[in-house]
Amino acid sequence: MGFTNLQQGTLITRDAYVALSELKKLVDRATEKIRVAERETVGVAIGRQENDDPLTTLRDAVEALQSPNFEAVVLSAREKMQTAVDWHLRMQEA
- The confidence score (pLDDT) of residue 20 equals 97
Residue 2: φ, ψ to 5°? -80, 165
CA gyration radius, the chain: 20
Rounded distance, CA 66 to CA 71, Å?
7
Amino acid present at 7:
Q
Instruction: Give me the tens of pLDDT residue by residue for the chain, a chain 94 residues long.
Output: 676 888 999 999 999 999 999 999 999 999 999 999 999 998 888 887 677 789 999 999 999 899 999 999 999 999 999 999 999 999 888 7
- The confidence score (pLDDT) of residue 34 equals 94
Residues 6+ apart with CB under 8 A from 84: 12, 13, 15, 16
Rounded distance, CA 9 to CA 85, Å?
10
Q: Of all residues in the chain, what percent carry a pLDDT higher than 90?
A: 70
- The confidence score (pLDDT) of residue 55 equals 92
- The confidence score (pLDDT) of residue 49 equals 66
pTM reported for the whole predicted model: 0.81
For residue 7, with 0-12 CB atoms within 10 Å meaning exposed, 13-18 middle and 19 or more buried, which class applies?
Answer: exposed
